[in-house]
Chains A and B, each alone.
Chain A
């Protein structure tokens, strides 16, 4: 045991100030999220009057009702699930394969490395990419929503660094002596030992796809194929609060006083939309959080 040197007075002041700083910072980070949560289960009038500040006022699930009755929204929700699961699975497989490849020495590695890194710094741009893919018949297909953005160079480099720094070279040599080829080594040894980085990549890829609205804005025309975020944009991110997005919900109000009711509903329904659409991404992160800090840190330290 070594003797512990006690904090000086100045250090203790610093610690208290630092703690105070972080309590305020946490408030700034978490309060807007909390506000959305409590507004989503409050009475519309209280929300519109700005009375919902610290806890739900006149608890009501009217907003969630409106959201659950909304067919367009659920259709797009289903689309988003398909695009996210399909796209992330594809991304994971392709990225891990390439990451292993790049972690080894082989002929003309420099050339391949260059070809991949170059795409980070120079791209065709929105319109040439759009025209190229359209000419290939990918416009307005579900396929493009799954294969576009398949490999992120950044993620690829993180995965390569992870494989390089966690799997010792001796392991590879021992496997080779036992007659393992690259395929065998990759599937039987590298993949089973890469759980952490696979978890991290699935969060990265999954969340990026779930949250993407721009791809569909450019590449999808049929409303039936739109993902959640693109539909959400119509509901949330528009100035015309009292026209388009309220009409969006009023289409499902069929009684006589439906219109005013719909406007009230829409006021909370927006908060409910945020909760319903954001929960999967945030929950995924919180579930994977254990792997996260470790995996990201190993992968991001340049090897």
Chain B
């Protein structure tokens, strides 16, 4: 039975408590269903939040998280005064910024054009095909780059008659990183936009046709306005991770030669933390980046709520 709780009315605490009792009588099963997921989030997301304190300590495995000595902001000072800090921030930001400049508009563009394909079977074949690269692992993607771009055996160098060390020369790193991302994920990222386009009422198109609108006009005056809210939402999500790191991929693509540009925060944290066991120092870096990302997504969200009407929450 569904019992409505009446918080607002003057019924007294007694009635209110009885209301809760009635709800719990039926709702306890919902809590049981939620329990495994909550337990997972508690162990893998909330307990590590408690572990963040090692950023302010000098963590020694023998003493444990709470037994290690407090050092205040030393780890943060060490990082910000190091030679690496400015380079890491610049590399991370630029890689993400360029990635966003290409990776954000392309799927929208593709979705609009795909939506205009007239031949039904060709359209569905295309849609299926452009999703395929998304299912390739990052390791294989990086492996393909190493194979195709090898200076001795690679097909690209064979075709161009050159022997460029693509994976070593720093100036190629960002382009290769972003182009391979575009190849892998732009097709997949059309899904949301295609879903939005397919939900547009066909009568709008019919009306536009009768009014003599060409296809291009329909794109400009029907498709794009309908896509705008979802575009804003995706932009907020993307802008919020401008200081995030695609550590998986950068780690695979980083070589001794391209470190001046491939050294991004996530890779540095992995190298110093996991390979050199500098747990406290890298936790401090991780905390900075997390806070930065958090502030960023909140402010972009706030901004878009002020300017337009769309926001995540």
Contact = CB atoms under 8 A, between A and B. Distances in A.
Contact of A32 (B137, B148, B194): B148
B24 A107 contact: yes
A181 B32 CA distance: 12
Given A101-B33, A135-B64, A147 B40 contact: yes
A115 B266 CA distance: 25
Contacts of B158: 49-50
Interface stretch (A8-16, A58-66, A67-75, A254-262): A8-16
A236 to B, nearest CB: 3
Tell me whether chain B's interface is mostly helix, strand or loop, or mixed. Answer: helix
B140 A236 contact: yes
Interface in A91-124: 93-95, 97-98, 100-102, 104, 106-107, 112, 115-117, 119, 121-124
Interface residues of B, number: 110
Tell me whether chain A's interface is mostly helix, strand or loop, or mixed. Answer: helix
Interface in B297-313: 297, 313
A277 interface: yes
Interface string A23-64: 001101110110110000000000111100100000000000
A119 B215 contact: no
A26 B44 contact: no
Contacts of A30: 129, 132
Contact of B38 (A112, A130, A241, A284): A112
Contacts of B274: 126, 130, 217-218
B41 A151 contact: yes
Given A123-B45, A267-B153, A232 B116 contact: no
A33 B132 contact: yes
Contact of A127 (B148, B153, B167, B273): B273
A285 B135 contact: yes
A100 to B, nearest CB: 6
A285 to B, nearest CB: 5
Interface string A288-299: 010001001100
17 contacts: A5-B210, A22-B122, A29-B132, A101-B30, A115-B38, A117-B313, A121-B293, A123-B45, A124-B49, A128-B49, A131-B54, A133-B44, A147-B40, A232-B140, A233-B139, A239-B146, A278-B137
